A and B are shown apart, each in its own frame.
Chain A
Amino acid sequence: MATPLAHRPAPERRRGRTRERLRVLGFLSPWLIGFTVFFGYPLLATVYFSFMHYNQIQAPTFVGLRNWAYVLGRMPLFGPALWNTLWLVVVMVALRVVFGLGIGLLVTKVKTGAGFFRTAFYLPYLAPPVAATVAFVFLLNPGTGPVNEALGALGIPAPNWFNDPAWAKPSLVLLSLWGIGDLMVIFMAALLDVPKEQYEAAELDGAGALARFRYVTWPSITPIVTFAVVTGVVQTMQYYTQALVAGKLASGVSVGPGTVIQPGYPDGSTLTVPQLVYSLGFQNFDTGAACALSLVLFAIAMAVTSLLMRGRAGLLSAED
């Protein structure tokens, strides 16, 4: 900020600076309070609880590293949950980026009915995750679902989707590809930003479609691809609702929410780390282990994202 007060006498300048500071604090105060109360405090408390034994009834007692040793060493479900989460991160993010880019490219090439196609591709993204999951569990239901009925009519052997441990995660990937709308819009905007002259120049040089993509399109959209990968990884590390709801509904347990069931149906194949945190903390009331596990999740998320962002500091940086 310019300093129009510079020529004034010192005490007044100091008063001006204090007022300026108070003003900044005033504007920032909602976030400062929110950050302290809803981020800083719980994060510190999570670290504190990770060294405690606490069942939410008796007072917490200090147990040192026992929760950490349990989570990292002896907890039977940690390995599978971590494997599922990383599987989903790799496969889901990769396929989403490729498919989203493909749909984005397609939409920029469509000449007739562009408005219809854009809306059609975009709408599923808006479907609430629970509603979309319920719909897909129905659509892919092996016994009563229309998809297997249609596949059967075509003579294609139909998988058991959410009811088969080998197909449950791919089914979740399919569900997430259906909701690709946000990525499509981002890629579309980036693709339309590529300077037309560069395509024309490349074409004059005799570059085919593939070469044009490789040497013109790709270099100018790589920042957006990186953005999509990083945000995709952050989101997928938190993957929770769809996996939980799909597992519960496909298992056919006709009980309301809040009932303790083994998560990850079928056969633990859809159990993710965030689900395991929930089930440790709110079903087993093992607060200490849940907190330790949630910090492991946080550490992995931070490690993966900072690795991805290395050398691309400008991507999400605080610069203007």
Chain B
Amino acid sequence: MTPTTATGPAGHRARSALRWIAVHTTAVAAALFFVLPFVFVLLTSVMSDEQAMSGELWPHEWHWSNYAEVFRTPGFLTWWRNSLLYAGLGTLFTVCSSVPVAYALARFRFRGRRPAMMLVIATMMLPPQVIVIPMYLVWAQQLHLSGSLWPLIVPMAFGDAYAVFLLRQFLLTIPREYLESAKVDGCGELRTLVRIVVPMAKPGIAAVALFQFFFCWNDYFGPQIYAAQNPGAWTLSYGLESFKSAHSVDWNLTMAATLLVMAPVVLVFFFAQKAFVEGVTLTGVKG
């Protein structure tokens, strides 16, 4: 950094110290806004039933057994299993179906490539409410599968616009020479994809997998449409609201359940932080 002519080195040092203090004070204030809600939720989750109603901030006694009680609530384990099924299979299906599509859109030059890409983007912009009614009618009246997880999981096996878009952006960064030389070596396109492209695109695939896992885990609208009639098919995100309704006065149990719904997402994030942040940046920056 170049000192300006008006102030000497001492003035400069004082100014940069002031700046350090200003920046870090602001950062601490901002951090409080982001972290305090978690802290309050955690503290309330271990309060006694009566204290959780009081608005007090610090627990008199620490009732960690609240968490065990949440798990004993009828249905909670079923919702847990359903969420894992939806998020796990949904992620697997999305990745397997979106990778070849993204590969084709990134690699092959064919007529209709541009319109195809525009259509992918158009599907990303469509509010889900626009197409949900006819889809619901098909699942409920023709296939008689509403009240199950099938209507949520099956569509994932047919590519997801967001995943295709992100993966394509990622695959475009792989130098063409790798693919051409694989071809010269007699590799078919499918083998090139599996043996060369997929290993090279691991960070992109990881990001897509994470996004999809979070999407499914967090999804409320889908389960509300298809699973509402059958509590056996509820997911955690959907069940949480009814949990609160059933325990209308038990804020402590509700906050414990809330943290339990958040926990897997936060855990997964800590193990795959880099891939995730890369994915967010990629979709944002490389348009």
Contacts of A117 in B (CB 8 A): 27, 30-31
Is the C-beta of B277 less than 8 angstroms from some C-beta in chain A? yes
B265 close to A1 (CB less than 8 A) = no
Cα of A135 to Cα of B157 in the assembled complex, Å: 33
Is the C-beta of B148 less than 8 angstroms from some C-beta in chain A? no
B159 close to A31 (CB less than 8 A) = yes
B228 close to A257 (CB less than 8 A) = yes
Which residue in A106, A107, A146, A185 is a CB contact (below 8 Å) of B277?
A185
Contacts of A298 in B (CB 8 A): 126-127, 130
Is the C-beta of B221 less than 8 angstroms from some C-beta in chain A? yes
Task: Give the residue name and chain of the A residue nearest to B252 (CB).
Answer: A138
Cα of A305 to Cα of B225 in the assembled complex, Å: 27
Is the C-beta of B65 less than 8 angstroms from some C-beta in chain A? no
- Given known A-B contacts A186-B285, A206-B4, A257-B224, A124 and B26 have beta carbons under 8 A apart: no
Cα of A314 to Cα of B129 in the assembled complex, Å: 28
Cα of A254 to Cα of B244 in the assembled complex, Å: 8
Q: Which residues between 215 and 239 of chain B lie within 8 Å of chain A, taking CB atoms? A: 217-218, 220-221, 224-225, 228-229, 236-238
Cα of A228 to Cα of B266 in the assembled complex, Å: 24
Is the C-beta of A12 less than 8 angstroms from some C-beta in chain B? no
Is the C-beta of B196 less than 8 angstroms from some C-beta in chain A? no
Name the segment of A68-76, A108-116, A161-169, A211-219 touching the other chain: A108-116
Which residue in B30, B103, B172, B248 is a CB contact (below 8 Å) of A320?
B172
- Given known A-B contacts A27-B103, A39-B123, A126-B214, A138 and B4 have beta carbons under 8 A apart: no
Is the C-beta of A128 less than 8 angstroms from some C-beta in chain B? yes
Binary CB contact string for chain A from 209 to 250 against chain B (1 if under 8 A, 0 otherwise) = 000000000000001100110000010011011000100110
B253 vs chain A, min Cβ distance (A)? 11
Cα of A185 to Cα of B23 in the assembled complex, Å: 18
B127 close to A134 (CB less than 8 A) = no
Contacts of A128 in B (CB 8 A): 217-218, 236-237, 261-262, 265
Is the C-beta of B8 less than 8 angstroms from some C-beta in chain A? no
Which residue in A31, A46, A190, A223 is a CB contact (below 8 Å) of B164?
A31
Is the C-beta of B74 less than 8 angstroms from some C-beta in chain A? no
- Given known A-B contacts A28-B101, A240-B129, A35 and B55 have beta carbons under 8 A apart: no
Task: Give the residue name and chain of the B residue nearest to A134 (CB).
Answer: B258
Task: Give the residue name and chain of the B residue nearest to A149 (CB).
Answer: B55
User: Count of B residues near A, CB < 8 Å?
Assistant: 100
- Given known A-B contacts A27-B103, A124-B37, A234 and B125 have beta carbons under 8 A apart: yes
Contacts of B113 in A (CB 8 A): 318
Cα of A67 to Cα of B279 in the assembled complex, Å: 42
Is the C-beta of A83 less than 8 angstroms from some C-beta in chain B? no
Is the C-beta of B73 less than 8 angstroms from some C-beta in chain A? no
Contacts of B104 in A (CB 8 A): 24, 27-28
Task: Give the residue name and chain of the B residue nearest to A287 (CB).
Answer: B133
Main secondary structure of the interface of A (DSSP, over half): helix
Cα of A34 to Cα of B101 in the assembled complex, Å: 11
Which residue in A34, A147, A185, A257 is a CB contact (below 8 Å) of B159?
A34
Is the C-beta of A51 less than 8 angstroms from some C-beta in chain B? no
B158 close to A131 (CB less than 8 A) = no
B101 close to A256 (CB less than 8 A) = no
Which residue in B37, B52, B116, B265 is a CB contact (below 8 Å) of A28?
B116
Is the C-beta of B18 less than 8 angstroms from some C-beta in chain A? no
Name the segment of A88-96, A263-271, A288-296 touching the other chain: A288-296
Task: Give the residue name and chain of the A residue nearest to B285 (CB).
Answer: A189
A131 vs chain B, min Cβ distance (A)? 4
B55 close to A145 (CB less than 8 A) = yes
B155 close to A318 (CB less than 8 A) = no
Given A56-B141, A144-B52, A282-B225, 16 new contacts (CB under 8 A): A28-B116, A30-B158, A31-B120, A31-B158, A46-B134, A117-B27, A124-B37, A130-B237, A147-B40, A185-B280, A224-B285, A238-B127, A256-B242, A257-B241, A277-B129, A281-B132
A-B residue pairs, 7 tightest by C-beta: A34-B158, A186-B284, A318-B117, A45-B134, A42-B131, A27-B104, A31-B159
Query: Which chain A residues have a beta carbon within 8 Å of chain B's beta carbons?
Result: 1, 20-21, 23-24, 26-28, 30-31, 33-35, 37-39, 41-43, 45-46, 49, 56, 103, 106-107, 109-113, 116-117, 120-124, 126-131, 134-136, 138-139, 141, 143-150, 178, 182, 185-186, 189-190, 193, 200, 203-204, 206, 223-224, 227-228, 234, 237-238, 240-241, 245, 248-249, 252-258, 274, 277-278, 281-282, 287, 290-291, 294-295, 297-298, 301-302, 305, 314-318, 320
**A–B pairs, 16, beta carbons within 8 Å:** A27-B103, A30-B97, A31-B120, A35-B123, A42-B132, A107-B27, A117-B27, A121-B34, A135-B37, A144-B54, A185-B284, A238-B127, A256-B245, A278-B129, A301-B127, A316-B121
